Amino acid sequence: MSLNITSAVIKIAIDAGREIMDVYRRDFSVEQKEDDSPLTEADKRAHNIIARGLAEADPETPVISEEGNAYPYEERKQWASFWLVDPLDGTKEFIKKNDEFTVNIAKIEDRYPVFGIIYVPAQDTLYIGGASMGAYKVEKASALEPIGEEALKQHGVKLNVSVPETAAHVVASRSHMSEETEAFINNLKETYSAVDVVSAGSSLKFCLVAEGKAHFYPRYAPTMEWDTGAGQAIVEAAGGEVIRHEDSRRFDYNREEQRNGWFLVQTVK
């Protein structure tokens, strides 16, 4: 991917984050979508910024967004590449005002993520990763605009996953842990002397693995493709992997069913 497009997409993510924070700092209403998930003005405003920005930066590449138009599988299965977007991942966290919500933008090529950005507006922190560039974390990202790959190297921290030695860290919910997650943790206890649980909202779970603060993120609950594309790109660029639960193969995209199955993010095989 060209440097110009990389810089443009970073700016788009940060601009979307500004729109989100403008809503976040005041009272706002919450709608319910057909699937009973929440929707706010911030979701819509972020989507509009991203859709317009990507159309200008990369007009030849289609965009799938959680808040955009749905494309029939017969049309999108022909796509060699596309942008995969969640304008506001963690709307429930946004509504709770706990700062753990993100802007997710991923580039998918031949069914796999090759580039991803996760921007955390409330923390002004940017996570970015790509197959050819590695993965970085940049704090106070909006102050560095425009950000190109050289700026990432100068001002960012290069991310590398960490391998558990005696203790393993698992990303999971402490308050709503599923039976499957408990079983996964119990299995790890047979290998490691200690297993600790860390938690985070939205796609920050992927970021914890990418920056070495967690080793495993088992997901035994529904997600959609736009929830995971950017996080997978960043984790893989940092040296980790995202695999399907049923067959341990690399997680892929642009399936007929856009709802994800169970998966595991991990730093070791």
Q: Which helix (H) or strand (E) holds 188?
A: helix 179-188
pLDDT value at residue 207: 97
Interior CA angle at 156 toward 207 and 264, to 5°?
15
Q: Are strands 194-198 and 167-171 parallel, antiparallel or unpaired?
A: parallel
The pTM score is: 0.95
**Was domain 167-266 assigned CATH 3.60.10.10?**
no
In this structure, CATH architecture of domain 3-158:
2-Layer Sandwich (3.30)
pLDDT value at residue 224: 96
Give the residue extent of every domain in the chain: 3-158, 167-266
Burial 143-159 (b: 16+ CB within 10 A, else e): ebeebebebbeeebeeb
pLDDT value at residue 269: 61
pLDDT value at residue 176: 66
pLDDT value at residue 37: 85
pLDDT string in tens for the chain (269-residue length): 677 889 999 999 999 999 999 999 998 998 888 777 889 999 999 999 999 999 999 999 999 999 998 899 999 999 999 999 999 999 989 999 999 999 999 999 999 999 999 999 999 999 999 988 999 999 999 988 767 777 787 889 999 999 999 999 999 876 667 899 999 999 999 999 999 999 888 899 999 999 999 999 999 998 999 999 999 999 999 999 999 999 999 999 999 999 999 999 999 76
Q: Which two tokens stand for residue 159?
A: 């991310």
